[in-house]
Amino acid sequence: MSTGDAILAKATQHFKEQLQNKSDTINVSEWGETIHYRPMNGKQRDAIIKHVNDGHLMEAYVESIVLRARDEDGKLMFKPIHKRELMTRVDPDILQRIATEMNTLDALLDDNDDTEEVTAKKS
């Protein structure tokens, strides 16, 4: 196994463990539900950042919820087909609160960047 392969194996194992072991919750009293969520992967971040860069902040919130909200068994609560109804028939303040509590945009936005486009924070 090459050095790159060995490092990649360690890196993917580390992230796999994060996904299995780290689950946070948000109580949504208005819905009588508790939402569980895990860290985002790169593909999920890209999908959310695209909406922000296109100027569609609510779509970014909804995308975040669809991609991350899980039930107590770890199953996704929503499917992509639910996006339209979430966007048009659900209180946007609650959607914003859920996405904000997930730290979705805080984790993605570089507060020191004054450009119009969103860039992922560099650690």
Strand partners, 76: 70
What is the four-CA torsion angle of 68, 77, 14, 43, rounded to 10 degrees? -40
- Has this prediction a pTM greater than 0.85? no
91 alpha carbon, distance to own chain's centre = 19
**Predicted confidence (pLDDT) per residue in 50-77, tens digit:** 999 999 999 999 999 999 999 999 899 9
> How do the domains of the chain map onto residue ranges?
25-123
pLDDT tens for each residue of 69-103 = 999 998 999 999 999 999 999 999 999 999 999 87
Sequence-distant (≥ 6) Cβ neighbours of residue 40 within 8 angstroms: 48, 67, 68, 104, 107
The domain covering 25-123 belongs, at the CATH homologous superfamily level, to Phage tail assembly chaperone gp13-like (3.30.2220.20)
